[in-house]
Amino acid sequence: MTAPRQTQPGDDPLREVDMNRREFLLSSATAAGALGIGGYGVAASHVKELILQPASFALRGGQITNGMVSLSPDAPPPVLYGKQGKVMRLPVRNTLPEYTAMHWHGLRIPNAMDGVPYLTQMPMGENELFTYEFTPPDAGTYWYHPHCMTMEQMAHGLTGVMVIAEPENPGFDSEQVINLRDFRLNDDGSFLPAFTQRGAARSGTFGNVHTVNWLQSPTYDHAAGGLVRLRVVNTDTTRTYKLHLSASDARIIAWDGHPIEGEVPLPVKETPLLVGPGQRVDIAVAMPTDEGQTVDLIVKLPGQPHRAMVRLRAIRQSQARDLRELRPLPANPVAKPDLANAELHEFVFGWTPEGGIPDNGFCGTLGYNFWSINRKPWPGDAAQDVGPLAILKMGKTYVLRLRNESPNTHPIHLHGLAFKPIRSNQRKLPPLMTDTMLLLKDEVVEIALVADNPGDWAFHCHVIEHQKTGLTEFIRVI
């Protein structure tokens, strides 16, 4: 069941992917478990080089936006398809004059492949190549983005989705990747400055053109009565999306890559799902049975009526599938925390008491500090000669108490390890395994983890303006 591709790159998705379009479609479908992908992707096994380069794209109406950053000249970064337990080799070449480094968000891979400048590798200069090679231990929905010149390159487009397929398709007819992000554009389609001092000191600077896979309100066709796996990924630099579906024949099956244990309520208009920057949610949707009927993913933006970010349209004869036919997603091999023997570490996130000038090495600075962890502002993308915030011992369980002392929400992200939110002073937490915890205003959350991946793991807010102005550090596992 191959859904028509709505993003038409016009030629090969990557300049140096050595295959023609037919092979490209076949291999992507194979990598995704013989599913229609309803997007634009590439099997990691076919990647020759991922080439960071300038791009142009009609983001706003017919207006071409120049000065974008992608992996091809005229299309969004492709969905990268891998398989759980199968090696992925991703040579990244930087053709931009600015430095970069590529990070694979949520993947529990060896530290040296994590793509954090100064911490796990040196920044990559112009024409440099760095070959990332790793075997994803977990299936699920992940993503990739630069961790050097993070603001500039992400705000200009360089955020892509990674799909790590389970060994077996749990019973979907097709899937749909939904890369949510905003761009900050003038009326003529040119970029506005990606950040502002005012924004960085508050909840961040918001984009004004809302896109899915770089398109405004796209429609994707899927088989009537079929079972679709939505992979919703918030790759925005700032916005926490408030989402719900127009249909009720749907179920949340995974969060931040990991299968949900038990049922969580489906978000509705009055109680939408909050998906913070960096977070992902997988939703199983049963398509309506009549051709032409639709399911919308709806967002509430401040001061605006609800709007459909993306529409799924039923096509052809009904497949007459039922959500109950789906096999449960197998749990990922994440170690269970041993809470009885856990050691506690405390972290406080807030404004900085004194805003020294940040030093981000070759990786770009916004020029000021507003934020802190444990009352210290940390250098953005250049963790040289600082930290770690905590040293964890291999194999031991830790509880990290995350305290938000600010009125802003912070998606707190830890690299290299998955953790379980166990307690909040404000709400009942769903049964999740995650890599990014959305901390609400004045919230205190405890998360538990087993320190089972050695290395220096970046630990930061995923509102990039916060990350770049003090709210970032790292945790060492030895």
Residues in the site for Cu ion, rule: CB under 5 A? 105, 410, 415, 461, 463, 466
Residue 35 or 109 having the CB closest to ligand C2O: 109
413 binding ligand C2O? (CB under 6 A): yes
* Shortest Cβ 205–Cu ion spacing (Å): 12
One-character DSSP codes across 177-229: EEEEEEE-B-TTSPBPPS--HHHHTTT-PPPSEEEETTBSS-EEEEETT-EEE
| d(C-alpha 245, C-alpha 287), whole Å | 12
Residue 148 or 297 having the CB closest to Cu ion: 148
Residue 145 or 229 having the CB closest to ligand C2O: 145
- Asked if residue 410 lies in contact with residue 349, where contact means CB atoms within 8 angstroms, the answer is yes
- Other C-beta atoms closer than 10 Å to the C-beta of 17 total 21
- Asked if residue 128 lies in contact with residue 86, where contact means CB atoms within 8 angstroms, the answer is no
Residue 207 or 278 having the CB closest to ligand C2O: 278
Work out whether the CA dihedral 308, 310, 315, 317 comes out positive or negative.
Answer: negative
Encoded amino acid at 69, one letter? V
x/- map, 129-168, ligand C2O, by CB under 6 A: ----------------x-x---------------------
Residue 154 or 315 having the CB closest to ligand C2O: 154
* Shortest Cβ 63–Cu ion spacing (Å): 31
Residue 106 or 189 having the CB closest to Cu ion: 106
Which helix (H) or strand (E) element contains residue 128? none
Residue 228 or 461 having the CB closest to Cu ion: 461
List the single partner that 460 binds among ligand C2O, Cu ion, none, CB under 5 to 8 Å by kind: ligand C2O
Residue 181 or 413 having the CB closest to ligand C2O: 413
With 0-12 CB in 10 A as exposed, 13-18 as middle and 19+ as buried, what is 251? middle
List the single partner that 313 binds among ligand C2O, Cu ion, none, CB under 5 to 8 Å by kind: none
User: Could you tell me which stretch among 9-17, 41-49, 364-372, 456-464 binds ligand C2O (CB under 6 A)?
Assistant: 456-464
Q: What is residue 355's DSSP assignment?
A: -
415 binding ligand C2O? (CB under 6 A): yes
CA–CA distances in Å: residue 58 to residues 7, 34, 55, 189, 250: 12, 31, 10, 8, 32
79-117 per-residue burial string, b: 16 or more CB within 10 A, e: under 16:
bbbbbbeeebebebbbebebbbbbbbbbbbbbbebbbbb
* Shortest Cβ 274–Cu ion spacing (Å): 14
* Shortest Cβ 257–Cu ion spacing (Å): 11
Closest CA to 361 of 380, 377, 376, 378: 380
Q: Which of 5, 93, 103, 410 binds ligand C2O (CB under 6 A)?
A: 103
* Shortest Cβ 57–Cu ion spacing (Å): 25
List the single partner that 410 binds among ligand C2O, Cu ion, none, CB under 5 to 8 Å by kind: Cu ion
| d(C-alpha 381, C-alpha 429), whole Å | 31
* Shortest Cβ 204–Cu ion spacing (Å): 7
410 binding ligand C2O? (CB under 6 A): no
Residues that bind ligand C2O (CB under 6 A): 103, 105, 145, 147, 278, 413, 415, 458, 460, 462
